[in-house]
Amino acid sequence: MNKFNQPANIKTRNIIIGMILMFIIVHIGFHATYIKQFPVFEKYNWLHHIHGALMGSWVLLLLVQPILIHKKRFSAHRFLGKLSYVVAPCVIVSMVFIARNNYQTGILKKSAADVMAIQSITWMQLVMFVLFYSLAIYYRKNPYNHMRFMIATAIVMLGPPINRIIFSYFPDVPTLYIFLISLYVKTGVAAALFLSDFIKRKNWRPCLVILSVFLFSDAVFHARYSDAWQAVGKFIVNTFY
């Protein structure tokens, strides 16, 4: 039997610790820009609230699921897994509407080229979430691959709160550097997972896919003013906005 097809020993304790850290980062980031404004929320509308609730639900799912596995509560884990069939599409739809809202707001202050350049991050996050979740569901009967791709959706979630943490607590950092730090942190986490699996002689292929996608996302950001991306941006605007 190919060693990559053998069952892998999944250390749920390490995954739980990672998900708790993600939860803390998300909470710190959105507390600074969103949660602390409760109950007024002057700068936000119903779309932001729905999006926030859905994203919060996904983060909680990512936190609870490995805990259920660790506690051997497999029935509850499968139930929440099926619940994700509803939550994930709603998350995706909300991401599309938020992207459209950000474009419509941004176009009032900046040029179309600048706004579409920034949207390179937004749309790559959406594409990565769809891809990683789809792969996780495809490999739902392969616990090792399934877990790796679910972890990848958690890495995608790190971008927005990291941006907000830097913006709120380190206001002197240039906006470009904030975006780069966020992108490189996510890619760094993906690279660390790949190296860990490679060094430990585990199945490194899922993490290689994940790392490759994050590297491509970084490349898209660096090409955000290129004719190719601007053409993609115009297509997205004309199709979805």
Q: Nearest Cα to 56, choosing from 85, 94, 82?
A: 94
Q: Nearest Cα to 152, choosing from 165, 163, 141, 136?
A: 136
- CA 115 to CA 127: how far, in whole Å? 18
Structure tokens given for 51:
């999006």
pLDDT digits (tens, 9 = 90+) for 128-186: 999 999 999 999 999 999 999 999 999 999 999 999 999 999 989 999 999 999 999 99
Q: Say whether pLDDT at 1 is over 50.
A: no
Q: Say whether pLDDT at 97 is over 60.
A: yes
Average pLDDT of span 35-60: 84
Checking phi first, is residue 172 left (phi over 0); if not, alpha (psi -120 to 50) or beta?
alpha
Residue with tokens 């509803």: 86
- CA 11 to CA 51: how far, in whole Å? 31
Structure tokens given for 178:
């904030």
Q: What is the mean pLDDT of the chain?
A: 90
> pLDDT category, 4, cuts 50, 70, 90?
very low
> For position 11, what pLDDT does the model report?
72
pLDDT digits (tens, 9 = 90+) for 179-217: 999 999 999 999 999 999 999 999 999 999 999 999 999
Q: How many whole angstroms from its chain centre is CA 221?
A: 16
Q: Say whether pLDDT at 9 is over 80.
A: no
Domain boundaries, the chain: 8-240
Global confidence as pTM: 0.89
- Compare 225 and 5 and report the one with higher pLDDT: 225
> For position 10, what pLDDT does the model report?
60
Please answer whether residues 19 and 154 qualify as being in contact, where contact means their C-beta atoms are separated by less than 8 angstroms.
yes
